[in-house]
Amino acid sequence: MTTIAPSFSSLQRPAGRVGLALLLLALCWAVIASPSQAQSGAVVQVIGPAAPVPAGQPFVVTIAIANAQNLGAFEFEYHYNAAVAGATVNNIQIGSLLGSGGRTTGELRLASAPGQPGVPLYGAYSYGAAAGPNGNGILATVTMTAVAPGVSQLSLAGLKVTDVTGHERAVTTTAGSVTVTAASRQIYLPLLRRSS
């Protein structure tokens, strides 16, 4: 009985196929993983005033975005402590970023989000042939008036950010705050003049 010993090349084939399969799997994983790593989600930050605000004085809150990608529209509910800070929906204004690429912009304002009395709902959209802006910038500003001493958190809920095709983008948000102090008292003293 004659036994034929396998050749060296036939012994290498299974190992070669396994190695090739592992290489292809690694390449596929790199292709799938790289877009998500390159396009990490945007971050929207609520930036309150850096210094305490005396009661009765106005102040501005900035809604800023970092890592926007082809920005087309956004929407949010604005939450705050009305006992400390008061605002009206008419004091929310669109920022400079959305229209910075040459697209036409529009705004949506509701005094109260559906089912949430006193919680302003604000949104802005854009249209046109130009691409949406990328990077960092200001989405909106909110002008408020300090009401009474205390600390109010300033936060967003229901935040949505889309690209120009209407696809929603991954986004996270960080809240801000405002510290309100007692109104400063001004004392007026009479001016006395001596007659000569």
Overall domain count for the chain: 2
> Are 80 and 47 in the same domain?
yes
> Are 74 and 22 in the same domain?
no
> Are 98 and 46 in the same domain?
yes
What is the rounded CA–CA span in Å between residue 113 and residue 125?
18
Asked whether residue 145 is assigned to any structural domain, the reply reads yes
Contact between 64 and 171 under an 8 Å Cβ cutoff? The reply is no
Contact between 145 and 57 under an 8 Å Cβ cutoff? The reply is yes
- Domain residues for the domain of 92 are 42-181
pLDDT of the chain, 196 residues: tens digit per residue: 554 444 444 444 555 554 444 444 443 333 333 343 345 689 999 999 999 999 999 999 999 999 999 999 999 999 999 999 986 666 899 999 999 999 999 999 888 888 888 899 999 999 999 999 999 999 999 999 999 999 999 999 999 999 999 999 999 999 999 999 998 766 666 666 666 5
> Are 30 and 76 in the same domain?
no
> Are 63 and 136 in the same domain?
yes
What is the rounded CA–CA span in Å between residue 117 and residue 98?
28
Choose among 38, 76, 53, 57: nearest CA to 158.
Answer: 76
Contact between 121 and 110 under an 8 Å Cβ cutoff? The reply is yes
Three-state DSSP class for residue 172: strand
> Are 47 and 33 in the same domain?
no
Contact between 128 and 102 under an 8 Å Cβ cutoff? The reply is yes
> Are 137 and 119 in the same domain?
yes
Give residue 105's identity as a one-letter amino acid code: T
